[in-house]
Amino acid sequence: MITAKMEKAFNEQINKELYSAYLYLSMQAYFERLNLTGFVNWMSVQVQEENAHAMGMYNYVNERGGKVELLAIDKPQTDWESPLDVFRHVLEHEEYVTSRINALMDVADEEKDRAALSFLDWYLKEQVEEESNVGGVLAKLELIGDDKHALLLLDKDLATRTFVAPVIG
């Protein structure tokens, strides 16, 4: 069984993961407008990953006999100044998500829910990877500056990212 407090915290995090997918879909649409198809691809993989993160928690709550309650998803930002501006936002957002996973683990600690802690370990590792991936693209964009040719080369590179369904938990 899952405690009411733990269930509420998981439902809130499912919402954050779905919001992340929504935010990245909005960023994907921004890149569509710029015709940067590699960035579009990178974001579409990111959207799929976030949906997978949400579904991992959805399945876990069900498995523990809890009730999944879907909350309203906020409207995401729709415009950015540049690809660099987008990736600064992505990193900031991922750091926020990491802080929410840590908070969720704090609840699991308080509730003495070892199974939840063990399950959430995967998410913690995933956040380290996410921040590192995003930080890598951000560093390249900072180097690129106003060099359009270099931006197109990065776009080509980001076109190779593929979605691999994660095995969560």
Q: Does 13 bind ligand FEO (CB under 6 A)?
A: no
Least distance (Å) from ligand FEO to the CB of residue 149? 30
**Cα–Cα distance, 74 to 98 (Å, whole number):** 19
Within 68-97, the residues that bind ligand FEO by CB under 6 A are 94, 97
Choosing from 130, 140, 155, 158, the residue that interacts with ligand FEO (CB under 6 A) is 130
The pair phi, psi for residue 163, each rounded to 5°, is: -90, 125
Q: Does 155 bind ligand FEO (CB under 6 A)?
A: no
DSSP class of 82? S
**Cα–Cα distance, 47 to 45 (Å, whole number):** 5
Q: Does 20 bind ligand FEO (CB under 6 A)?
A: yes
| 135 class by beta-carbon count within 10 Å (0-12 exposed, 13-18 middle, 19+ buried) | middle
Toward ligand FEO, which CB reaches closer, 125 or 156? 125
Q: Does 50 bind ligand FEO (CB under 6 A)?
A: yes
Residue in this structure with the two tokens 């076109």, named with its chain if needed: 159
Contacting residues toward ligand FEO, per CB under 6 A: 17, 20, 50, 53, 94, 97, 130
